[in-house]
Every structure is written in C-alpha cells, then in structure tokens.
Amino acid sequence: MKEINDLIQAMEELLKQALTDINQADSSDALKQIRVKYTGKKGSLNQFTRQMGQLSAEEKPQLGQAISHFQKDFNLAFAEASEAIQAEEMAQALAKEALDVTLPGKRRKYGTRHILTQTRQEIEDFFLGMGYQVIEGPEVELDAYNFERMNLPKDHPARDMQDTFYIDEEVLLRTHTSPVQARTLEIHDFSKGPLKMISPGKVFRRDDDDATHSHQFQQIEGLVVDQGITMADLSGTLLAFSKQMFGEETEIRLRPSYFPFTEPSVEVDVTCFKCHGQGCAMCKKSGWIEILGAGLVHPNVLRMSGIDPSIYSGFAFGLGIERVAMLRNNIDDIRHFYQNDIRFLQQYKGGAY
C-alpha cells in the first residue's frame, strides 16, 4: 500500500506545482505550454496513468480518483487563468490600436476650373440663355471646311494670314472655329426653325509665340441664320453680350473690316471698361477696345452649304477666349494660360467643377 500512497502523494505535489505554474503564466502562449507539459501526451500526468496496469484491483480506483481530482483542479485553474489572461491581452491590443479621433485629417486639394474654362463657360451661359445651341467641331479639319467652304479658295491671298500645321495637302489643324459654320449649315433643317449656334474650341496657327500670339488658342464662333436676319440683329446681340461680359454701361462700335466669309464685315470694339472712354493704357488712349470680328454671312458660304441666299441670311462672329480673359482679368501675356504655373492659376479660383 505504500506505493500507491507514494504515487498519490507525488501527484499532489505535481498538482501544486502545476497550479503555481498556471498562476505565474503571463501569456496565452505560456499557458498553452503548461498544458502540454502537464496534461499532454508526453506530459507529467501520463506518467502516472501509465502505471495503472501494474496496480492491484483495489489500488486502481484510488489512482483513478487522484487522476480525476488532478484533472478537475488543473482544468479549473487553467480556465480561470486563461480567461484573465485573454481579457488582459484584449485590453492591451485595444489600447495599442486605439484611434486618436482628435488628430486633424488629411485635407484633399481640390482643383478649380482654369480661367479659360471659366471664361468660356460664362460666354456659353450667355448664349444658351439666348436660345443658342453649343456645337463642337473637329480640331483636325479638312482644308475644304477650314478654307474653301468659308469662301477662301486655294489661291486666296487671305490664307496667308492663317498659316497652320498641315497633316497633308487636304488635312490640317483648323485655324479658326469658322468651319463649324459650314458643318452646321449643311445639316440644319430649317423647317424646324432658325439656326442659332455657338461653337467653342481650340484653334491653331503657325505663329511664333509671344505676349499676344500663341500657336494654339481658343475661339468661340457664333452663327445665326434665318429669313430676314440683318446687321441690326448682329449689333443688338453683340451689345447685349458686351454688357454681360464687360459691364452694363458698355457701348459697342462697329468698324468696317474684311473677312472672306462675311459681307459686310466688321470689327467690333467695346468702350474701355477701365477708363470708360477717357483714354488709358489699356485702350491705348483711344477709349475703345477691339474684341471680335463679325459680319453678315457671305452668300457664297450659304450657297456652298446648299442654302438659298435669296431666302435666308445670317450673321456670324468669332472671338478669342484668351483675349476676353486677358482684358477682363488684366493678364498681360497669353503664355500664362498655358504654362501651368500654379501661382498664376490660383489667382483665378473659379470653384470646383
């Protein structure tokens, strides 16, 4: 009987040791190792279980009881310790991952509309309000539309004023937005009403860039065709437009000029909005500032687009968007628009898109 008592005694010692280990464990990992050490396959407890076979029928239940006592106490202590350690570990993890919601966020930099876009949209808005359509044409254009259909045949001397970039003999980068006149005229259905359109877009010239010239710039074309359109319609429209863009007190003046696609042709000046006609540096002391070219659509232009000039007439105008933006914002060099210098652009914040 001594042996079984020794065994039970040894198991009590082992349990004491195990409980001490469990209480000292400071992590889930350490706990796991303790479990392997005591109750795992090769663990200490198994050394006792294995001896079961050598015991007598009386001794066996005594050892069995001791083993289950060990297991019960061990498991209880283990579960308690495990719960406490897990709670502690969770608290630590939460503390480590805590978000400081008082930190300032990262501010996104929003772009704003380019001053040329703002100017173009403002002009578009005016004409949309007057019932015009906005129609875009191709930047790579046929010679036929850019020149011939605008009454500039191949040998016309006025072509010299608009040299451009040629793709081949017949295809080029358009020098003005006027070809959209022909493209629109040839498809417009006059039985549905008059044609009133503007056409904004990029144009190109073989020019050397300087403060007032750019090989690429933007224009807005305007075209109205109906029965009985006269110079009075043109000047009334342009007066309303000028007042909108340059101030209510603005007056306009039409000077005779020449364009192959209009007859008569005019150049349109507005009263200087800086000195109001007194004469200053802006208007070169004249009191007037030139803003666009215009006229009554040449009968040839109508005819070439299949429209009978004895029934229909119209007016057209073309203006440079850069020029309007430069005048209104006191910008002295056209190249500023295209250099993307953020210091320049930021002066004309026009709100987000």
List residues binding ligand DAH (CB under 6 A). Answer: 176, 178, 221, 259, 262, 293-295, 316-318
Residue 263 labeled ligand binder: yes
31 closest CA partner among 73, 79, 67, 69: 79
The residue with its CB nearest to ligand DAH is 318
In whole angstroms, how close is the CB of 161 to ligand DAH at the nearest point?
8
Q: Rounded to an integer, what is the distance from CA 274 to the centroid of its chain? A: 35
SS3 239: helix
Please state whether beta strands 195-204 and 216-226 pair in parallel, antiparallel, or not at all (unpaired): antiparallel
CB of residue 155 to ligand DAH, shortest distance in Å: 19
Smaller CB separation from ligand DAH, 201 or 295: 295
Compare residues 25 and 294 and give the one whose CB is closer to ligand DAH: 294
Q: In the complex with ligand DAH, which residue's Cβ is closer, 38 or 317?
A: 317
Spatial CB neighbours of 76, under 8 Å, sequence gap ≥ 6: none
Query: Least distance from C-beta 344 to ligand DAH, angstroms?
Result: 26
Measured from the CB atom, is 166 or 258 closer to ligand DAH? 258
The residues facing 265 across adjacent strands are 257, 295
* Minimum distance of ligand DAH from residue 231's CB (angstroms): 12
User: 122, 245 in Cβ contact below 8 A?
Assistant: yes
Interatomic CA distance for residues 348 and 140, integer angstroms: 30
Question: Tokens standing for 124?
Answer: 């578009």
Residue 101 or 232: the one with the smaller Cβ distance to ligand DAH is 232
Length of the chain: 353
How near is the Cβ of 336 to ligand DAH at its closest, in Å?
Answer: 21
CB of 221 to ligand DAH, least distance (A): 6
> What three-state secondary structure class fits 194?
coil
Residues 6+ apart with CB under 8 A from 47: none
Alpha carbon distance 269, 62 (integer Å): 119
Burial class (CB in 10 A: 0-12, 13-18, 19+), 121: middle
User: Which residue number, 38 or 147, has a Cβ lying nearer to ligand DAH?
Assistant: 147
List, as residue ranges, the binding site. Answer: 263
List, as residue ranges, the binding site for Mg(2+). Answer: 263
